[in-house]
Structure 1
Amino acid sequence: MRAIELFAGAGGLAIGTAKAGFHHEAVLEWNPDACETIRENKRRKVELVRDWEVVECDVRKYDYSLLGEGIDLVAGGPPCQPFSLGGKHRGHEDERDMFPEAVRAVRELKPKGFMVENVKGLLRQSFASYFGYIILQLTHPEIVKREGEEWPDHLKRLERHHTGKGRRSGLNYQVVFRLLNAADYGVPQRRERVVIVGFREDQFPAWSFPSPTHNEERLIWDQWVTGEYWERHEVAKRRRPKCPEAIKARLDRLRGEGCPSGEAWKTVRDAIADLPDPTRGNGGETFHNHLFNPGARSYPGHTGSPWDAPAKTLKAGGHGVPGGENMLLGADGGVRYFTVRESARLQTFPDEYVFRGAWGEVMRQLGNAVPVNLALAVASSVKAHLMSA
C-alpha cells in the first residue's frame, strides 16, 4: 500500500509503517542530519529504507500533486516542541506548529487513512480547545481556514459543520485518538505518546486501537514470583537487587490471581545486556554507533534509567544535559550516557540502522523518534483494516 511520511526525522515511524507493509512514495524531512541518516542507510542498502525517496524540504513548500492519486496512508509526527512538557508550551502560537501542514497533506492527497503522532503534552488542559480544533480539521479537512480568520472562529465553523443536520458532503474522516505507552507494545522504554488515526468515511471505519501486548504485572511476576527474569539473564541471587517496597505491596494480590496474561514489559537489561561494555573502549568494533561518551552527571529530574525496568523516556536534549534523560543508572548509583546504539535499541531501531551527525544531534534524532515497534503495532492494525475495507 502506498504511503507518504511527513516530518520523518531519523525514520522511526517510517520504519514501523514500512515493516507493517506500507511503501513510502516520499519521505519528507527538513533537518539535514536526519536526512543524511536516512540516506546513509539507503547507501548501505538497509532493506526497509533502500527504496525510499528522501526529500529534504520544508513541508510547507512541498507539492503533493507530484505523488498523483491513490495514496493509502499519510503518516507523520509534527514537531512536538510547541506542546512538549519540557518546552515553552506556546502551542498554536509556535511557528513550529506543523499540524496545519498535516491537515493540508490529508486535504490534498485524500488518503484512505492517516496516522499522526505527538507528545503527551498535547492533551494538557491548556491546549484542550486547540487539540479539539486539530481533531475537527482532520475530520473535515476541506473546511479551510479563511484568509484573516482567527483559529477560534474557524473552530466555530468546523463545530457547526460537524453538528449540522443532514449528510455531510465532501471529504470527511472518522478520527480517534489515544494516549499510548510504548512499553505496552514491547518497547523497552516508558514513552507515552498521543496517536491520532483517521479513516476516510468510505473505508467503513469500524476500528479501534490494538490492545497492549506487554504489561508491568507480568514483569513483576517474572522477577519477584518465579525469578525467571533473573535466571534468563544469568544474574546470581547475591547480585540481584532487593524487591522494592512498592512492588512487595502488590505481590500478594498477584500470587492470588495467578500468572498474568500477556508478555512482560521489556527492560533496559533485555534491550542492551548483550552489547559490549562501551566504557572498556571496544563497543564500536562490533556494533555501529556504540561508543562511550563521558561527562554524564545526575541532578534532579535527570537521574538515569535502572537496568531492570523499562527506560525512562529518552529526550531530545536542550535541558541542560545533552540527550536529556539519556543515561543508565548503575548498581553503584553512578550514571553514564547510553551510547547511540543503546539508545537505538531502546527505540527498537534495528542494529543495522546507523545514525549520522554529531553526538548531540544524533541524540536529538533519537529523542524525537517514534519507537519502531509502537509504530509497527498501530500501523499493522491500520493496514489490516484498510485491506479488509
Structure 2
Amino acid sequence: MASERLEVVEICAGAGGQSLGLHNAGFRHKLALELDENAAKTLRHNLARLLKEEGSSPEDADREAESVVRVGDVADESLWDHAAHKDVDLLAGGVPCPPFSIAGNQLGATDERDLFAWAVHLCRDIQPKALLLENVKGLSGNRFSAYRQHILELLHDAGYVGEWRLLEAHQFGVSQLRPRFVLVALRKEFAEYFQWPEPSTVPAPTVGELLKDLMEANDWAAEHVEAWAKKASAIAPTIVGGSKKHGGADLGPTRAKAAWLKLGVDGMGVADTAPGPEKDGDHIPRLTTAMVARIQGWCGENAHWEFPGRKTTVYRQIGNAFPPPVAEALGRAIASALQKEKKRPDSVESGRPDLDPVYVLLRHHPDKALTAQRIADLIARSGGKKLPVPEIERRIAHIERDFHVEKAARSSGELAYQLGEFKAFIGQQDHARHDYFAQHRGKVS
C-alpha cells in the first residue's frame, strides 16, 4: 500500500493537520518542513506511528520520520535541496497567516513573514504535478485582488492552472466555522481532471454532541453535562491558535470569547482537566486541549493523533492547524486529478484570469503609464463593470502596498501610474526578511 502512495513535500507543516489529511488521502511524505521545534516533534512522533501501522519496523519508522521531518526556516537553502524533489506529485503547505489576517495590519507582500509568493516561486522551480496552499479568509478580500491575480499569472506562465476557493471547515464535518482560503494549481495535463470537493450532506455535530463524553470524563454530574450539552447546540467559532508573541492559551479575541460563552464555554483559557464532581450546574467549563483537538477535526478515525508537550504549546499547535478532514477532502480531489480519474464537466480556463482589471491594465496594457481616468475608460470600453475614478484610485492604493508603483504628473495635472516589481520575498539575498528573521526567530510563528 505504502509504495502505491503519491508523494508530497509539505512546507510550514505545523503539527500535522494537513499532513494527516493528506496521508488519509493517499499521500506519503518525502519531506515535511517546520520552523517550530515543538510542532515538528509532534509531527515526527505521529508520522512514525503511521509508518509502524503500515508495517514498518519501529526502527525503520523512527528513522524515516526523523529524516522526513526537518526543523528550520523553509526558505533557508541549506535546510533542504530543492532539486532533489523535482516532479514530486504534490507541493503543499500552510504558509504564515499574519500578512493577510484581518486581525493584523494586512501588510501582504511587505510583511517579512509572507511566504506565499516564495512558495509559488518554489513551485515554478521544482515543478510538482500539483500545488496546494491554504491561508486565512483575509487573503480573499479586495485588498489582495492584485496579489492573487499576480500569483495566478506566475503559475500560468509556469504551465499551471490555478484556482482559488474559500472553504468552510464545517462543510466537511468539522464542528467549527473556520473559513480557509485555498489555492490549488495543477499542471495543465491534470487540471482538466480536478474538481473541488463537494461539501458533506451530513451537518457537522454541535459542540455539545461532539464533546459530551469528554465533559463527563472527570465525573461532572450527568445532569450538569446534559444541561451543558443542550446549551452548546451550535458549531464552534474559529479556533485561534495565536502566536508566540502574545500570551498563553485562550480561545481568541473578545468577539470569539462572547460566542464561546453563548455555547456555555469559558474562553479565557484552556483547562488541564474536564470539570470534576465538585462543580455545580452553574459552572461554565473551559475546554481541554483534547476537546480543542476534537473540534479541530482530530476525532473519529483521526483521534489517534498525539500531542506531547505542555498545554500552551499543544494548544497553539492544534489551533494553528489545517483541519485534517478538510485537508483530506482536498487531497482526495487532487489525487483523483493526478490519476486522471474523471474529467471535470466545465472547461478549464487556462488563460490569464481577470480578478483585478486595474492590475491587468497596469501590468499588460501597451501604454505603460495610465491615469485613473484612462483606466476607467478602458474598463468601460471592454464591457467590464464601470468603476468611478475614486474607486480606481483606491484600488491603486491597494496595489501600491504590494507592488512598486511609479507616479508621474501629466500636463493636465492628472497622475499617471506605472506598475513596477512585486515587493514580496521570493528568495532575494538582500530582502529585509533575512534581518527580520535573524532578530526575531524565537517569536516567528
Instruction: Please classify the TM superposition score into its range, dividing by the shorter chain length.
Output: 0.5 to 0.7
Instruction: Specify the alignment match of 1:175 in structure 2.
Output: 162
Aligned pairs for 1:245-260 (under 5 A) are none
Q: Is the 8 A contact 1:117 1:195 kept in 2?
A: yes
Q: 1:201 is matched with which residue: 188, 208, 211? A: 188
Aligned to 1:14: 19
CA distance in 1, matches of 2:103, 2:187: 34
Is residue 324 of structure 1 aligned with residue 251 of structure 2? yes
Deviation of 1:353 after TM superposition, in Å, equals 1.3
Alignment match, 1:61: 76
CA distance in 2, matches of 1:333, 1:135: 53
Identity %: 34
Q: Residues 141-152 of structure 1 correspond to what in structure 2 (within 5 A)?
A: none
**Alignment: residue pair count:** 288
Task: Give the gaps of 5 or more residues in structure 1.
Answer: 141-170, 214-261, 282-304
Provide Cα deviations, 1:296-335, integer angstroms capped at 9, x if missing partner: xxxxxxxxx9622111100013677733338573297864
> How far is 1:343 from its partner?
0.9
Query: Larger deviation: 48-57 or 13-22?
Result: 48-57
- 1:136 pairs, out of 131, 137, 153, with 153
1:351 Cα deviation after fit: 2.4
State the partner residue of 2:115: 98
> What SS class does the counterpart of residue 39 from structure 1 fall into?
helix
> 1:387 deviation in Å?
0.6
Q: CA deviation at 1:93?
A: 1.2
Deviation at 1:9, TM superposition (A): 0.6
Q: For 1:263, what is the secondary structure of its paired residue?
A: coil
TM-score normalised over the length of structure 2: 0.59
**2:172 match:** 185
Which residue of 2 is the match for residue 147 of structure 1? none
**Paired AA for residue 148 in structure 2:** F
Cα 1:333–1:384 shift into 2, 3 Å: farther
Matched, 1:272 2:211: yes
Confirm or deny: 8 A CA contact 2:26 2:332 kept in the other structure. Answer: yes
Q: Aligned Cα RMSD in Å?
A: 2.7
Match of residue 382 from structure 1? 334
Q: Partner of 1:313 in structure 2?
A: 238
Q: Which residue of 1 is the match for residue 286 of structure 2?
A: 337
**Compared with structure 1, are the counterparts of its residues 87 and 359 closer, same or farther at alpha carbon in structure 2 (3 Å cutoff)?**
farther
Q: Distance in 2 between matches of 1:82 and 1:267?
A: 32
SS in 1 for 2:32: strand
Q: 1:71 to 1:135 in 2, by over 3 A?
A: same
Contact residue 74 and residue 105 of structure 1 kept, 8 A: no
User: Of residues 87, 93, 97 in structure 2, which corresponds to 1:76?
Assistant: 93
Distance 1:68 1:98 in 2: 19
Determine the C-alpha separation between the residues in 1 that align with 2:152 and 2:304: 37
C-alpha contact 1:8 1:76 (8 A) present in aligned 2:
yes
CA contact (8 A) 1:25 1:67 kept: no
What are the Cα deviations for residues 213-247 of structure 1, in whole angstroms up to 9, with x where unaligned? 1xxxxxxxxxxxxxxxxxxxxxxxxxxxxxxxxxx
* SS in structure 2 of the partner of residue 273 of structure 1: helix
Task: Give deviations 1:163-204, integer Å, cap 9, x for gaps.
Answer: xxxxxxxx3100111111010111111110111111101325
Return the alpha-carbon distance in structure 2 between the equivalents of residues 20 and 65 of structure 1.
24
1:257 aligns with: none
Give the Cα–Cα distance (whole angstroms) in 2 for the partners of residues 337 and 135 of structure 1.
43
CA drift at 1:277: 3.4
Larger Rg: 2
Alignment-mate amino acid for residue 172 of structure 2:
Y
* Alignment partner of 1:30 out of 35, 39, 45: 35
Partner SS state of residue 233, structure 2: coil
